[in-house]
Amino acid sequence: MSAIAEVLSTVAHHRAPRCSELPTCAVCADSMVAAEASAYISDHMISYLWTCDNCGYGFVTKHAVKQRIVCN
């Protein structure tokens, strides 16, 4: 099965990452529970590959990771 992929940008909200809403397929509106793959782009950027199990549509999201400051 072939899939079409595109890169989508996300805007970080002030919520914890696990509390964010999960994406839905732009083609068939099926909800997606887990990314198919992830990759570190840089120290502060992670890319996620999402593929719809229902229709095969695929897209990539990128998320900025905030660096935590540790005080000793």
Q: pLDDT (tens digit, 9 = 90+) per residue, 23-33?
A: 899 999 998 88
The reply to whether 10 falls in a domain is: yes
CA distance 41 to 14: 22
The reply to whether 38 falls in a domain is: yes
Q: What is the DSSP string of 10-38?
A: ----SS-GGGSPPPB-TTT--B--S-SEE
Give me the CATH number covering residue 29. Answer: 2.20.25
Return the higher-pLDDT residue of 4 and 27: 27
CA distance 57 to 55: 6
The reply to whether 71 falls in a domain is: no
CA distance 43 to 45: 6
- Looking at residue 72, what DSSP letter applies? -
Which residue range forms the structural domain that includes residue 53?
A: 5-64
Q: What is the pTM of this model?
A: 0.62
The reply to whether 23 falls in a domain is: yes
What is the count of structural domains for the chain?
Answer: 1
The reply to whether 72 falls in a domain is: no
Cβ atoms of 42 and 30 within 8 Å: the answer is no
Question: pLDDT band at residue 54, thresholds of 50, 70 and 90?
Answer: very high
Question: Given this model, what pLDDT does residue 17 score?
Answer: 53
Highest mean pLDDT range out of 9-13, 21-25, 44-48? 44-48
User: Residue 50 pLDDT > 70, yes or no?
Assistant: yes
